[in-house]
């Protein structure tokens, strides 16, 4: 199979999955405008992407993502009370508060297309963006540097005091705010270039 056909088949499959996820309300609303712009182009298509989120996660042990339990997940600013409420679902393992910036996976038709998209992402503030694959698929990962990973408890108990929890939530909300600004900047740049 040639690269052109691989790209075409891959795009068709990815767009079908996106439409299904959209119909099942499984796609972050904030990321949809960017995905729509990118997917309208003949040169690109998107796969798994997220607008950024705040998560309370229960991990049996460090690195055990397979058995991790999402106790709370928000794609917006939150209040400390939401972390406290979500933590009541915890049982055993470490409790982590995470704030993650947006991540967008984009498949490009050619290396030149990928280079242009990468430059656009980086100039829009997504400084951690890079190429994930140059094999049969040319995949770009658009991501930023802002993030928070903080242990906050263990075995169903929050260990952080109220002041520290407020600080963590303030930082997590700042990650989301900065992410939203960068997403807006990227959207505007993509509208000009695609």
What total of structural domains would you count in the chain? 1
Structural domain including 31 reads 3-193
Alpha-carbon distance 6 to 189, whole Å?
28
CATH of residue 122's domain is 3.30.1960.10
- Residue holding tokens 């997220």? 50
69-76 contacts, C-beta under 8 A, 24 or more apart: 69/93, 71/95, 75/28, 75/29, 75/30, 75/50, 75/51, 75/176, 76/176
Question: Residues in the chain with pLDDT < 70?
Answer: 1
Q: What is the pLDDT of residue 39?
A: 96
Half-sphere exposure of residue 26: CA atoms within 13 angstroms, side-chain side? 8
Query: pTM for the complete prediction?
Result: 0.90
Nearest in space to 108 (alpha carbons), one of 97, 100, 119, 98: 119
Q: What is the pLDDT of residue 4?
A: 84
Q: Which two tokens stand for residue 8?
A: 């075409």
H/E element holding 35? helix 32-40
Please say whether the beta carbons of 76 and 176 come within 8 A: yes
Report which DSSP code applies to 89: T
DSSP string covering 100-120: E--EEEEEESSHHHHHHHHHH
Sheet holding 44-50, edge to edge: 44-50, 103-108, 138-143, 130-134
Alpha-carbon distance 128 to 118, whole Å?
10
Alpha-carbon distance 50 to 101, whole Å?
8
Report which DSSP code applies to 93: S
Report which DSSP code applies to 56: E
């Amino acid at each position: 199979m040639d690269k052109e056909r691989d790209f075409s088949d891959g795009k068709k499959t990815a767009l079908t999955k996106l439409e299904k996820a959209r119909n099942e309300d499984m796609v972050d609303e904030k990321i949809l405008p960017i995905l729509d712009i990118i997917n309208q182009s003949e040169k690109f298509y998107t796969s798994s992407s997220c607008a950024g989120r705040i998560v309370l996660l229960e991990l049996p042990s460090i690195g055990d993502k397979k058995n991790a339990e999402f106790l709370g997940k928000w794609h917006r600013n939150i209040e400390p009370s939401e972390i406290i409420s979500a933590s009541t679902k915890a049982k055993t393992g470490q409790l982590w508060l995470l704030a993650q910036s947006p991540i967008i996976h984009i498949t490009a038709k050619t290396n030149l297309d990928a280079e242009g998209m990468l430059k656009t992402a980086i100039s829009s503030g997504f400084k951690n963006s890079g190429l994930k694959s140059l094999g049969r698929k040319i995949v770009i990962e658009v991501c930023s540097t802002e993030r928070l990973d903080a242990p906050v408890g263990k075995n169903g108990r929050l260990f952080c005091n109220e002041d520290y929890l407020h600080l963590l939530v303030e930082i997590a909300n700042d990650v989301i705010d900065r992410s939203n600004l960068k997403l807006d900047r990227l959207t505007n740049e993509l509208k000009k270039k695609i």
